Amino acid sequence: MRLFAAVRLSEEVRDALVKTRDELLRQGVRGRCPPPENLHITLVFIGELPDPEPVLDMTDAISFQPFPITLGEVGIFGGGILWAGIRPSDPLEHLVKRLRRGLAEAGIPYDRKAFRPHITLMRNMDPGKGLPEIRLPGSTMTVDRVTLYRSDRGKNGMIYTEIG
């Protein structure tokens, strides 16, 4: 199965992001919008793995002091990916380092690209008449656990299922 470890968003942060996105749609921006329940911050992308157990063992063994994160600025990756950023956070970086180390120690391969904390809001984004200036609300939430998800291709887009 295709796996990734992520931060589940609080309802408040999720609602704030959906509101911002709705405003962009009203202003003529177009794109594929993941459903609200799919919004998340990927910490580590693992990809195809036959058995999630060793990953669950590793994530279960990681305990940390809960810490706050705050929405930052909006950005665009090539290919029309519109994302919401997270303000720089040492505890978040540290958590990702621990997860990567845990996977490496367990011999589980993962995507080693530099960590760019973000929440994908839209794919194949077409700005229409031009992307309006967007400001995210400075919503804050507490990170107190890592969630492991499996990702499956559904009829109408990706389906993410929490498995731990």
Query: Which residues contact ligand 2AM by CB under 6 A?
Result: 4, 42, 45, 111, 120, 151
Looking at the Cβ atoms of 94 and 116, the one nearer to ligand 2AM is 116
> ∠ at Cα 103 (101, 105), nearest 5°?
70
- What minimum distance in Å lies between the beta carbon of 42 and ligand 2AM? 4
Buried/exposed 93-111: b ≥16 CB within 10 Å, e otherwise:
eebbebbbebbeeeebebe
Cβ atoms of residues 68 and 141 within 8 Å: yes
Q: Distance (Å, rounded) from C-alpha 96 to C-alpha 79?
A: 25
Q: Which is nearer to ligand 2AM, 42 or 59 (CB)?
A: 42
Question: Among residues 20 and 42, whose Cβ is nearest to ligand 2AM?
Answer: 42
* Least distance (Å) between residue 119 CB and ligand 2AM: 8
In this complex, which beta carbon is closest to ligand 2AM, that of residue 48 or of residue 63? Answer: 48
CB of residue 115 vs ligand 2AM: minimum separation in angstroms?
10
Q: Which is nearer to ligand 2AM, 58 or 84 (CB)?
A: 84
The packing angle between helices 90-105 and 53-61, to 10°, is: 140
**Running DSSP on this structure, what letter comes out for residue 11?**
H
Q: Phi then psi for 113, rounded to 5 degrees?
A: -60, 155
Query: Closest separation between CB of residue 125 and ligand 2AM, Å?
Result: 13
Taking the complex as a whole, the smallest distance from the CB of residue 49 to ligand 2AM amounts, in Å, to: 13
